[in-house]
Amino acid sequence: MQLQDILYTQGFGSRRVCAGLIQQGHVQVYPRDAAAGALACTEASQEFEAEGLRFRVQGVDWEYHARACIMLHKPAGIECSQKPSAWPSVYTLLPAPLRQRPNKGAVQGVQAIGRLDQDTTGLLLLTDDGQLIHRLASPRHQVPKVYEVTLKHPADESQVRRLLDGVVLDDDPRPVRAAACELSDPQHLRLTLTGGKYHQVKRMVAAVGNRVEALHRSQIGGLRLPDDLAPGQWRWLTSAELALVGA
- In this prediction, what percent of the chain has a pLDDT beyond 70? 98
pLDDT digit string (tens) for 172-190? 788 899 999 999 899 999 9
The reply to whether domains 69-138+228-244 and 144-220 share a CATH topology is: yes
Q: Which of 5, 33, 117, 227 is catalytic?
A: 117
Question: 22 near 40, Cβ under 8 Å?
Answer: no
Selected from 3.40.50.1980, 3.40.718.10, 3.30.70.1560, 3.40.950.10, the CATH number assigned to the domain covering 144-220 reads: 3.30.70.1560
The predicted model gives 232-247 an average pLDDT of 90
**What gap in Å lies between CA 49 and CA 5, rounded to an integer?**
11
The answer for residues whose C-beta is within 8 angstroms of residue 184's C-beta and 6 or more apart is 190
Burial class (CB in 10 A: 0-12, 13-18, 19+), 6: buried
Q: Does residue 180 sit in helix, strand or coil? A: strand
Q: Where are the domains of the chain?
A: 3-63, 69-138+228-244, 144-220
Of 128, 82, 155, 121, the C-alpha closest to 237 is 128
pLDDT at 45 over 90: yes
User: Which pLDDT value is given to residue 195?
Assistant: 80
Angstrom distances, CA of residue 73 to CA of 156, 178, 226? 30, 24, 9
The DSSP element (H or E) to which 98 belongs, if any, is helix 96-100
Residue type at 24 in one-letter notation: Q
- In this prediction, what percent of the chain has a pLDDT beyond 90? 74
DSSP state of 163: H
pLDDT confidence band for 209 (50 / 70 / 90)? very high
117 is catalytic: yes
Of 2, 11, 9, the C-alpha closest to 29 is 2
Strands (E) across 75-207 are located at 111-112, 121-127, 145-151, 167-169, 172-176, 180-185, 188-193
Find which of 28-32, 54-58, 82-86 is predicted with most confidence, using mean pLDDT. 54-58
The predicted model gives 198-220 an average pLDDT of 94
Question: 97 near 109, Cβ under 8 Å?
Answer: no
**What gap in Å lies between CA 66 and CA 155, rounded to an integer?**
47
User: Which pLDDT value is given to residue 1?
Assistant: 94
Neighbours of 241 (CB within 10 A): 19
Mean pLDDT value across the chain:
92
Q: Does residue 30 sit in helix, strand or coil? A: strand
The CATH number given to 69-138+228-244 is 3.30.70.580
Burial class (CB in 10 A: 0-12, 13-18, 19+), 83: exposed
User: Which pLDDT value is given to residue 120?
Assistant: 96
pLDDT confidence band for 197 (50 / 70 / 90)? confident
User: Which pLDDT value is given to residue 247?
Assistant: 67
User: Which pLDDT value is given to residue 38?
Assistant: 84
The answer for residues whose C-beta is within 8 angstroms of residue 65's C-beta and 6 or more apart is 10, 236
pLDDT confidence band for 42 (50 / 70 / 90)? very high
User: Which pLDDT value is given to residue 137?
Assistant: 82
The CATH number given to 3-63 is 3.10.290.10
pLDDT confidence band for 171 (50 / 70 / 90)? confident
User: pTM (2 decimals)?
Assistant: 0.92
Of 242, 21, 33, the C-alpha closest to 131 is 242
pLDDT digit string (tens) for 70-110? 999 999 999 999 888 899 999 999 999 999 999 876 678 99
When mean pLDDT is compared across 62-71, 142-151, 194-203, the lowest value belongs to 194-203
Backbone region of residue 221 per phi and psi (left: phi > 0; alpha: psi in -120 to 50; beta: other values)? left
pLDDT confidence band for 37 (50 / 70 / 90)? confident
